[in-house]
Amino acid sequence: MKTVYIVIPIIVLVLAASVFLFGGSYFQEPPQICYLAPLEKTSLDLYYDCEDFDTDTVLELPEINHDKLVTLSLELINEDRERYNSPVLELGESSTAQKHAEELLNTCRTSYWSSNGMKPYMRYSASGGDGAINENVRVIGTPELQKYWTEEAIGQIIAWNQYSMVERDEASEFRHSTNIIHPDHNYVNIGLAWSNFCVTIVHQFEDKYIEWSQLPIITLNHEFMLAGRVNFNSTIEQIDIFYDPIPMPLSDQELMASPRTYGFGHVCSHIMCSDGSLPIATVLPNSENDNLGPDILEGILNQESNIPILIAHKWEVTHGEDFTTFSIEEDFTELIDFVAEASNTTGKGVYTVLVWASPEGSDDGMVLTTISIFFL
């Protein structure tokens, strides 16, 4: 009988110890709320002052003026551009930067992909964008610590991020800084969002120089067409075509593991992004030599090219003192067949159009478009 009285207390003690060690609240740290420590733009890192937080206490969150912070971000961008002798930017009208900043709050992790599988230039085109864009993204904060943001704190983060991207951008091989001060940009779309855990900043730099009479399209008959007016005198050099498979939805885990940079075309996916971008075809002007038609010239050039070279059957360009008009057409049947065979698909997907031009008197080419055609 004594054995029974000895065993029962041991079992009770073991159970109690299990609750204490594994199931109880003894080892759960009390919830904390964190405040951004004073931050200078030149600070090397961010720090937080944290304190225990009573979950029964209702926090009165301060009002934060989103438009005021966007204006601050624009002013800081233009200050840096003026310092590097680049023209100042106007605020763009595209909402895609703001929408992406808000979506990034779901993971509090930097990603250039959105949950629908689209990259920046796809989102921009799908929302009606008709120029060329390059995007910078930064997420500050973590989902582990709850933050108490003020307008002053977010303003300090914006200034710190701006300085970091321009002056301490070695980790990204100065891609951010080059994007910020690039002289070809004339607009920027700014996305700012914040949650209890992180602040997200999206800068979508935009080059808008074309008034379109026909946005780039691929017809059901596989005819590629575009026409418009460039608002400066230029030479349309060539058109590069990039291909991406049809975007598919991505999980939060896939977004968090996505590359910290992006590029055009199939060589850059949410799993791996190779350095550089590889077009699937280049469209060139037709020959001015009467002895060579487009088909003959195309055959000659393709003998030494790693990618298909297409000679446009229509390449009409008119130059004015301060403008250039163009109308370009080419049959994409062979290109779509090439994609279908190479990707084991029907050729459906996203074809992104990069129009290259050189301003009069300049040898430097510039990209006028990053417009995606969703050929579905």
CATH code, 113: 3.40.33.10
Mean pLDDT throughout 103-124? Answer: 97
For residue 319, name the pLDDT band (cuts at 50, 70, 90).
Answer: very high
For residue 6, name the pLDDT band (cuts at 50, 70, 90).
Answer: very low
User: Hey, is 234 helix, strand or coil?
Assistant: strand
In a shared domain, residues 222 and 249: yes
In a shared domain, residues 249 and 353: yes
For residue 354, name the pLDDT band (cuts at 50, 70, 90).
Answer: very high
Mean pLDDT throughout 246-257? Answer: 96
| Residue percentage of the chain with pLDDT more than 90 | 74
> Which pair of structure tokens corresponds to residue 347?
């050729």
**What's the pLDDT score for residue 22?**
45
Per the rule left: phi > 0, alpha: psi between -120 and 50, beta: everything else, 222 is: left
Tell whether 344 is covered by a domain.
yes
Residue 354 has a CB neighbour count (10 Å cut-off) of: 21
In a shared domain, residues 296 and 310: yes
Average pLDDT of the chain to the nearest whole number: 89
Mean pLDDT throughout 152-166? Answer: 97
Q: How many domains is the chain partitioned into structurally?
A: 2
For residue 29, name the pLDDT band (cuts at 50, 70, 90).
Answer: low
The b/e string for 88-127 (b: 16+ C-beta within 10 A; e otherwise) is ebeebebebbbbbbbbbbebbbbbbbbeebbbbbbbbbee
In a shared domain, residues 147 and 285: no
Least confident of 14-18, 36-40, 214-218, 299-303: 14-18
Q: What is the DSSP letter of 303?
A: T
In a shared domain, residues 100 and 227: no
Asked which of 207, 232, 260 is the last residue of a domain, the reply is: 207
In a shared domain, residues 106 and 218: no
Tell whether 195 is covered by a domain.
yes
Reply yes or no on whether the pLDDT at 199 is more than 90: yes
Tell whether 28 is covered by a domain.
no
Range of the domain at 268: 210-375
**What's the pLDDT score for residue 362?**
86
In a shared domain, residues 214 and 75: no
**What's the pLDDT score for residue 375?**
95
- Angstrom CA distances, 248 to 101, 221, 242, 262, 312, stand at 20, 26, 18, 16, 32
Tell whether 1 is covered by a domain.
no
Mean pLDDT throughout 226-250? Answer: 96
Mean pLDDT throughout 302-323? Answer: 86
Most confident of 43-47, 120-124, 146-150: 120-124
**What's the pLDDT score for residue 4?**
42
pTM to 2 decimal places? 0.87
Asked which of 139, 173, 207 is the last residue of a domain, the reply is: 207
Tell whether 111 is covered by a domain.
yes
In a shared domain, residues 216 and 196: no
**What's the pLDDT score for residue 345?**
83
In a shared domain, residues 130 and 51: yes
Asked which of 207, 225, 247 is the last residue of a domain, the reply is: 207
Least confident of 44-48, 51-55, 217-221, 222-226: 51-55
Reply yes or no on whether the pLDDT at 17 is more than 50: no
Mean pLDDT throughout 184-207? Answer: 97
Tell whether 3 is covered by a domain.
no
**What's the pLDDT score for residue 21?**
45
**What's the pLDDT score for residue 103?**
98
**What's the pLDDT score for residue 8?**
38
In a shared domain, residues 200 and 72: yes
Please tell me which residue, 292 or 149, carries the higher pLDDT value: 149
**What's the pLDDT score for residue 62?**
87
| Residue percentage of the chain with pLDDT more than 70 | 86
In a shared domain, residues 194 and 282: no
Tell whether 8 is covered by a domain.
no
Tell whether 303 is covered by a domain.
yes
The 10s digit of each residue's pLDDT in 48-84 is 999 988 777 767 778 999 999 999 999 999 999 999 9
For residue 303, name the pLDDT band (cuts at 50, 70, 90).
Answer: low
* C-alpha count within 13 angstroms, C-beta hemisphere, residue 47: 7
In a shared domain, residues 163 and 246: no
Burial class (CB in 10 A: 0-12, 13-18, 19+), 166: buried
**What's the pLDDT score for residue 80?**
98
